[in-house]
Structure 1
Amino acid sequence: MASAEKIKLTSYSTKGGCGCKIGPADLSQVIRSLPAAVPNPNLLVGIDTSDDAGVYKLNDELALVQTVDFFTPIVDDPYAFGQIAAANAISDIYAMGGTPLTALNIVAFPIKTLDKQVLADILRGAGDKLKEAGITLVGGHSIDDNEPKFGLAVTGLIHPDQVRTNAGSKPGDKLILTKPIGVGILTTSIKKDKLNEAEVDRVTAVMAALNKTPAQLMSAYEVHACTDVTGFGLLGHGSEMAKGSQVGLRLFSSEVPILPRVRELAEEGFVPGGTKNNFAHLQGSVTFPETMDQIDQWILCDAVTSGGLLISVAGDQAEKLLGELREAGVEAALIGEAVSEHPGHITVI
């Protein structure tokens, strides 16, 4: 199938380059106002620890893992946007340790003002990524909207005793991150035409990469907690892990992999609002070194789309898992550790 005529798809997004979620502070305020959910003993993972997906026990051997995610365009190529959106949605299932099974497309599209081929390319990109993940598309829903948005609802399966939440990290664990950060700053820069073609291809490849391989490899290890790094940034999702697990985290800032030109572009002002919101929300939950400037602090809070897994693995197994990940082509790095001191707090060193 031929691609649609080249357009600047990101110009149809009024929210800027990162496709960010509602900020953590605003979202927490809304959730606190909701009535308590009806207790259900089969609900193994709900909204209590801000985890990546819900888990519902069907029987002693089987549980459902369910998630949904969608956003506005963050790259201009429709096919790539579809791939990124699919990889991002599927990632929640991988983070929980589950096997993704089926998906539903979620489509909002200005059908009267954008070429229908653009939508076809978005869906084709998502479809190819679903095939790569071994997921069956079972349907979807679409609406006519002034601003294009796309994503998926994904359902997976897992054994009830093998669920990996973001709330089980233990002192002595090491933290492994499986993708570089800086995506929000770079996608904001795409909207302002600040990246060349090779740089766009690089960040696109990072976002479109499935977390399938890291999820499969970590299954053989003593992983106590896992989450995927997305809209709340590395420190935001790390903070959820620290608070949910009641451990402290020490983050080795010099070891965190960062995409090329991120600092340069941040210095030029291309820091998305979602990143700044993340930073503001973490006040009191993170201690930065006195020598670390505002730019580097923002980068660690950068709002990510389709980021890597943050894996909390038993300390004596971390190097072996890291080696396997790198041998498989995963851009993994050991970036920190869990400690018994300052539970619920992150110290950046």
Structure 2
Amino acid sequence: MDSIKLTQFSHGGGCGCKIAPGVLSDLLARMPPGLLPADLLVGTATADDAAVYRLNDRQAVVATTDFFTPIVDDPYDFGRIAATNALSDVYAMGGTPIMALAIVGMPLDKLPAEVIGRILEGGAAVCREAGIPVAGGHSIDVLEPIYGLVGIGVVDPARVRTNAGAREDDVLILSKPLGVGILSAGLKKGLLSEAAYAEMIRWTTMLNRAGAALAECEAVHAMTDVTGFGLAGHLLEMCRGSGLQAMVDFDALPLIAEARDLVKGGVATGASTRNWTSYGTSIQLDGALGEWQQKLVTDPQTSGGLLIACEASAATQVLETIQRTQGSAGKVIGRMVRGDSVVRFA
């Protein structure tokens, strides 16, 4: 089992295997209009993290699904990362997970049952940490290993936080450092140190528990999690949803140290290039910023942090909540201002 490297089976690992945002937009545009019941509080209109359906005045269901191919070789770690990433969408809506369903696709002729079992064990371990059961699921025999979850949660309809509620003069806070996609590319090339791998596992298996607590704060106006489209892409969705512009201080961005070194040396995922091709015309980089900075802000984050827009007066409270609920030191990275829906990095 130790000789099997899961990443050899995947053409793109983690959230880096997502369909490019531009292509996805074209595909979704071909879908015929669906039903829009009044109790569907969040659907597909603003490319949000999960669907939200109101049951009554005090309860709404949060539903999401997320799965991908291996980002690491260790099967247990792969399961943990995939499960953490899937549950993040529930937290990003301000919800609390209540159960999960497993999504399993495995090349049964290539992977021993012990390896597949370890993937499932990793996912179940994260669900136990979140206090929820894996209550079922579905499995198929496929060419590449795929694992993830359907995440089901609950939220008070009045506490739902979307990616479209940011207000002018809100500050932007990021709860985890960037660079996971770059580290995964370094891992595939055999360039990643043991310490950086440990950092990668630390951040990608940290549940974004803060989301449920932050939804209790009225000064928090919008939330999303940073995943496959990179910081620039998910912040752009926030800008478009709110009709505002984002100004980001690049030097304030929290970065995983070795990711900075790797990207400066030319290591990056193909997904960062696809991301830039899809939305680069809506991203403005200060003249002092170059190619490696572009790669970093478009870097696909697997199980990335929460991106939060809140009143400036509440920034300290938000940072303290992140630290208290998940042991992560968030950072203020910018603010929302009046203007065209673009993201400016300076």
Q: In 1, Cα distance between the equivalents of 2:232 and 2:85?
A: 18
List runs of 5+ in structure 2 lacking aligned partners.
Answer: none
Task: Tell me if 1:33 matches 2:33.
Answer: no
Q: What residue is the counterpart of 2:181 in the other structure? A: 184
Give CA deviations for 1:49-87 in whole Å, capped at 9, x if unaligned.
000000111122211110000000001111111000000
Task: Tell me if 1:132 matches 2:129.
Answer: yes
Give CA deviations for 1:117-147 in whole Å, capped at 9, x if unaligned.
1111111111010011111211011111121
Contact 1:17–1:188 (CA<8 Å) still a contact in 2?
no
- Of 214-223 and 102-111, deviating more is 214-223
For 1:333, the aligned partner's letter is K
Q: What residue is the counterpart of 1:14 in the other structure? A: 11
Identify which of 329, 337, 340 aligns with 1:339: 337
SS in 1 for 2:33: coil
Q: In 1, Cα distance between the equivalents of 2:74 and 2:182?
A: 18
Q: CA deviation at 1:325?
A: 2.7
TM-score by length of 1: 0.95
Q: CA deviation at 1:208?
A: 0.8
Superposition RMSD on alpha carbons, in Å?
1.5
- Of 328-337 and 4-13, deviating more is 4-13
Name segments (4+ residues, structure 1) moved above 4 Å.
none
Contact 2:71–2:184 (CA<8 Å) still a contact in 1?
yes
The number of aligned residues is 345
Q: In 2, Cα distance between the equivalents of 1:86 and 1:324?
A: 23
**Using a 3 Å threshold, how does the CA distance of structure 1 residues 19 and 347 change in structure 2: closer, same or farther?**
closer
Contact 1:17–1:191 (CA<8 Å) still a contact in 2?
no
Q: In 2, Cα distance between the equivalents of 1:153 and 1:212?
A: 17
Q: In 1, Cα distance between the equivalents of 2:307 and 2:70?
A: 25
Give CA deviations for 1:36-58 in whole Å, capped at 9, x if unaligned.
11221111100000000001111
Q: In 1, Cα distance between the equivalents of 2:21 and 2:85?
A: 18
TM-score by length of 2: 0.96
Question: How many percent of aligned residue pairs carry the same amino acid?
Answer: 43
Q: What residue is the counterpart of 2:100 in the other structure? A: 103
Q: In 2, Cα distance between the equivalents of 1:154 and 1:330?
A: 23
**Using a 3 Å threshold, how does the CA distance of structure 1 residues 121 and 215 change in structure 2: closer, same or farther?**
same
Identify which of 257, 265, 277 aligns with 2:254: 257
Q: CA deviation at 1:199?
A: 1.4
- Of 23-32 and 208-217, deviating more is 208-217
Q: In 1, Cα distance between the equivalents of 2:14 and 2:100?
A: 26
Contact 2:319–2:330 (CA<8 Å) still a contact in 1?
yes
List runs of 5+ in structure 1 lacking aligned partners.
Answer: none
Q: In 2, Cα distance between the equivalents of 1:274 and 1:198?
A: 24
Q: In 2, Cα distance between the equivalents of 1:243 and 1:16?
A: 28
Q: In 2, Cα distance between the equivalents of 1:66 and 1:214?
A: 15
For 2:255, the aligned partner's letter is I
Identify which of 281, 284, 294 aligns with 1:284: 281
For 2:213, the aligned partner's letter is Q
Q: In 1, Cα distance between the equivalents of 2:143 and 2:187?
A: 21
Q: What residue is the counterpart of 1:147 in the other structure? A: 144
Q: In 1, Cα distance between the equivalents of 2:145 and 2:281?
A: 37
Contact 2:69–2:147 (CA<8 Å) still a contact in 1?
yes
SS in 2 for 1:106: strand
Q: CA deviation at 1:172?
A: 1.4
